Amino acid sequence: MKIALLGGSFNPPHLGHVLIARQVLDFGGVDEVWFLPNWGQSFEKPVASQEDRLAMTRCLTMPKTKVSTIEIDNKLDGKTINLLPHLPSGNSYVFIIGSDQLPVFHLWGKWKELLEKMPFLVFPRYGFPTEPVYPNMTVLHSNELIVSNISSTKIRERVLLGLSVDDFVPRGVGEYIKKHKLYMAREKT
């Protein structure tokens, strides 16, 4: 089975993640997409608790996807290279990144070694170029591709400003944010 891995902090997960997963399934030649919320952060930034982020990520329910807790179960540090030994054998994998990651990919831990061991599928993000790509990276192309600029940062800012996020996150995520009063105060860094 060919599995596309969509990792990240999911702080919070949103409909942009759903759009990516759906279209990688449609146009990326994969059998499944796994959402991988991280346990540790490779780039220091304030995030909601791992429990909150996992609970919200579980609201991203759609056919041929699943939430994988590999990073959480193994308390990985967020560096993708450290995920590789924990992936179940018998499958082939591709890692999904947004084109916003291309300018900073060289900052990823052991990025050259990572590119040798794992192919990457670059999903275009609105407002970010899709070039240049590194070897072992492929940009997802289709005339029917829908891209957006929805981001977790924008969702958190809307919550902070008291604006609705209901049209930008799955219903369960919006309900969870309200119930647990997440992102309503600016995080201290």
pTM equals 0.94
Q: How confident is the model at residue 82 (pLDDT cuts 50, 70, 90)?
A: very high
Q: How confident is the model at residue 143 (pLDDT cuts 50, 70, 90)?
A: very high
pLDDT tens for each residue of 64-79: 999 999 999 999 998 9
DSSP three-state, residue 16: helix
User: Does the structure show a pLDDT above 50 at 154?
Assistant: yes
> Among 37-46, 74-83, 135-144, which is the least confidently predicted range?
37-46
pLDDT of residue 189: 41
End-to-end C-alpha distance for the chain, whole angstroms: 41
Contact between 39 and 47 under an 8 Å Cβ cutoff? The reply is: no
Question: pLDDT averaged over the chain?
Answer: 94
Secondary element (H or E) of residue 65: strand 65-67
Three-point CA angle 93, 95, 101, nearest 5° = 170
Considering the chain, what percentage of its residues have pLDDT values greater than 90?
Answer: 91
Domains of the chain and CATH, by start: 2-149 (3.40.50.620)
Q: Pick the more confident residue, 132 or 28.
A: 28
User: Does the structure show a pLDDT above 90 at 173?
Assistant: yes
Q: Does the bond joining 129 to the residue before it have cis omega, within 30 degrees of 0?
A: no
